[in-house]
Amino acid sequence: MTVFICLILFTPLLGATLLALAGRAISRRLSGVLACLCVAGSLAGAIAGWSALAESGSTTQTIHLFTWFSVAGLNASFSALYNHLAAVMATMVAFVSLIIHVHSYFFMRDDESWVRYFCYLNLFVFFMQVIVLADNLIFLFMGWEGVGFCSFALIGFWYTDPSRVMAGRKAFLVTRVGDVAFIAAMAVLFYATNSLGIADILGATGTLAPATVTLVGLLFLWAAAGKSAQLPLLVWLPDAMAGPSPVSALIHAATMVTAGVYLLIRLFPMLVLSTLTMEVIAALGALTALFAACAALAQHDIKRVLAWSTISQVGYMVIGVGIGDPNGSFFHLLVHAFFKSLLFMVAGIVIQALHEEHDIFKMGARVRKIAPGTALAFFCGAAALAGLPPFAGFFSKGTILEHALTSAVHGPPIWMAVWAAGTVTALLTALYSFRVFFLAFTGKPALEPDTKTEKTPPAMLHVLWPLALLSVVAGALNMPEHVAMQLGIPPHWLDHVLGNLAGPVMEHPDQHLASMAELIDGSLALVGFAIALFIYGPWRIRKPAADKGLAAAMQRGFGLDYLYMTYVARPYRAAADLIWKNVEDGGVDSAALGLGGIAVRAGNRARRWGEDKLTSYLLWLLLGLVIMLVIVAAVGIR
């Protein structure tokens, strides 16, 4: 097993190292192939490790690689906690990363910084796999910070554009706010358990005080909110679309942005012990999902629609954790990775074919001629995102809403609010998904388009068809029993694979509630499709909403950026300027300069005094010498 874990972790790191040291010495093609092969090695290790785990009959294995340091009882070891949850996640990360690497080989074909790009991508995959496999929280935090650094470097990859650099800085700073809570949670856990090993912590949850569990749970929720772009720390993700489209697909849709959710799923056996923590998690996810879906409805930039959509869908995953269905949350995490990475990469093909045009109101049916096949691929992803039966998203999102409905029927009122927010969000999701599809791929462009186009390699799209297929059929991974029986496939396969590794598995809703939830979800997806067709259909005259009122507020994310700038960034800058000018320049620097001046003046006086005294000493010495010579001469004459 150690060999497989090393393959998963270190082949991408090897690729990044080789590219950093010798990337410019080898050919452009070889460096790209090397990067892809290293990720393929990680995928091979993940599949082989998963197979070995299944054959061993054990559910969990801890593999110790080496000890980083050990001080005063604090042990930081590079150890992997490998169970079926980690095995599935590692396989998904490597699989999606490999497709994105191959897609990037064509997408970045004319970029001068080719080697630097693939070096960052390989490094990112290494750090992401660290998050997936780490047993020790310090080891995990290293991966947590590593993906943050790679995200910063890849968002601002085209660093000659100041706006892209600013977007990278914004992502880096906002996610660091969440990281402070991660460090605080580690400190509390070490104080309470004297260990930072995840297996040790989960084994000791029964001994933790309820207040400690609640505190640690809320701190980890805050950390997850930063990494997974949940309220109030979501402002960095829409601007992060400044990076290349494959980067958006890899980091800001399929992997890093779900790291916070994955952390909550891993720690679920501890989180579930605090009712307050679970309610806050569910409420935060529901509020974020609804908030982001409203914002997505008014966007003109195709990538910003998908960015807000990502925030909303991650909100569903957070709801799944909060209502006690971590398996359902993980199911949606997997399916979302397939269809959202597909949507981002198809959007990238369209943008490149239209000579960097992002506005969906300037696209229209001409896209189908310029980039054949993209409309079908995008529809597969959009239908899965919308939860249209029988696409994969219908089953993954439906599972979460089914459990939310069960909680709403049998639980306190807050669960009814969570289910209602999730259900309204489902309708909005279908509406904005098909709005983008109809505007970007059908009818006449609503606004005068730029006539410049660029031919794109067909292989850029061909490599995406596996993701399109998974967007259609991945629902079979965890199909409800009554549907699975009709299709002759195993029901709830993913639940059986994961077992209770992530925590106590919530019982499936009774058939009556499950059927009701499926009927509601499917109907809402169809209603959203019909509304989008009626408003934005190919025969309609489509006009963008006026840049004022509610539409403008939705387009600007309800002014959350403005609030941060007004009440956080500007006061911080003012305080920094005040400290700089009055404390540093006027206080510390002035005091230091004053003391230095006093020292200089004292030195000058001492020097002059010394010079004067020295002169006097020399004169008296000379006089004495003359006197002695005179005396000696007088005695000699006698």
Lowest mean pLDDT among 312-326, 334-348, 524-538, 585-599: 585-599
pTM: 0.90
For 608-625, b/e burial (b = at least 16 CB within 10 A) is eeeeeeeeeeeeeeeeee
The whole-angstrom separation of Cα 179 and Cα 151 is 15
CA 625 to chain centre: 87
Average pLDDT over residues 220-245: 93
Local confidence band at 505 (pLDDT 50, 70, 90 cut-offs): low
% the chain with pLDDT above 70: 96
Residue 169 pLDDT exceeds 70: yes
pLDDT for res 636: 64
Q: 169: buried, middle or exposed (CB in 10 Å: 19+, 13-18, 0-12)?
A: middle
Q: In the structure encoding, which two tokens stand for residue 378, read together?
A: 């995008």
pLDDT for res 90: 96
Residue 337 pLDDT exceeds 90: yes
Lowest mean pLDDT among 230-244, 555-569, 614-628: 614-628
Summarised one tens digit per residue, pLDDT across range 20-62 is: 999 888 898 999 999 999 999 999 999 999 999 999 888 889 8
Average pLDDT over residues 518-540: 94
Question: What percent of the residues of the chain are helix, what percent strand, and what percent coil, each to the nearest 5?
Answer: 75, 5, 20
What mean pLDDT, rounded, does the chain reach? 90
pLDDT for res 73: 77
Amino acid at 216: V
- Which one has a higher pLDDT value, 143 or 550? 143
Summarised one tens digit per residue, pLDDT across range 479-504 is: 888 888 888 888 889 988 887 655 55
pLDDT for res 580: 83
Average pLDDT over residues 323-332: 94
Residue 235 pLDDT exceeds 80: yes
Instruction: Please state, in angstroms and as integers, the Cα–Cα distance from residue 112 to each residue in 24, 157, 161, 198, 355, following that order.
Output: 11, 11, 15, 43, 18
pLDDT for res 503: 56
Q: In the structure encoding, which two tokens stand for residue 39, read together?
A: 């990720």
Q: Residue 305's closest CA among 536, 475, 28?
A: 536
Summarised one tens digit per residue, pLDDT across range 604-618 is: 877 776 666 666 777
pLDDT for res 573: 84
Summarised one tens digit per residue, pLDDT across range 387-409 is: 999 999 999 999 999 999 998 98
Provide Rg for the chain, Cα atoms.
Answer: 31
Residue 507 pLDDT exceeds 70: no
The whole-angstrom separation of Cα 417 and Cα 584 is 51
Average pLDDT over residues 290-300: 96
**Residue 558, phi-psi category: left (phi > 0), alpha (psi -120 to 50), beta (remainder):** left
Summarised one tens digit per residue, pLDDT across range 151-164 is: 999 999 999 999 99
Lowest mean pLDDT among 262-276, 323-337, 555-569: 555-569
Local confidence band at 548 (pLDDT 50, 70, 90 cut-offs): confident
Lowest mean pLDDT among 436-440, 458-462, 463-467, 507-511: 507-511
Q: Which of 326-335, 576-585, 586-595 has the highest mean pLDDT?
A: 326-335
Average pLDDT over residues 430-439: 97
Summarised one tens digit per residue, pLDDT across range 56-105 is: 888 889 899 888 888 877 888 888 999 999 999 999 999 999 999 999 99
The whole-angstrom separation of Cα 313 and Cα 196 is 31
Q: What is the biggest distance separating any 2 CA atoms in the chain, rounded to whole angstroms?
A: 143
Lowest mean pLDDT among 297-311, 408-422, 442-456: 442-456
pLDDT for res 614: 61
Residue 619 pLDDT exceeds 80: no
Instruction: Please state, in angstroms and as integers, the Cα–Cα distance from residue 251 to each residue in 32, 104, 138, following that order.
Output: 19, 13, 22
Average pLDDT over residues 561-570: 87
**CB of 5 within 8 A of CB of 42?**
no
Residue 249's DSSP bridge partners are: none
- Which one has a higher pLDDT value, 233 or 70? 233
pLDDT for res 394: 96
% the chain with pLDDT above 90: 65
For 19-36, b/e burial (b = at least 16 CB within 10 A) is beeebeeeeeeebbbbbb
Local confidence band at 514 (pLDDT 50, 70, 90 cut-offs): confident
Summarised one tens digit per residue, pLDDT across range 441-455 is: 999 988 887 778 888
Lowest mean pLDDT among 17-31, 105-119, 468-482, 493-507: 493-507
Average pLDDT over residues 550-571: 88
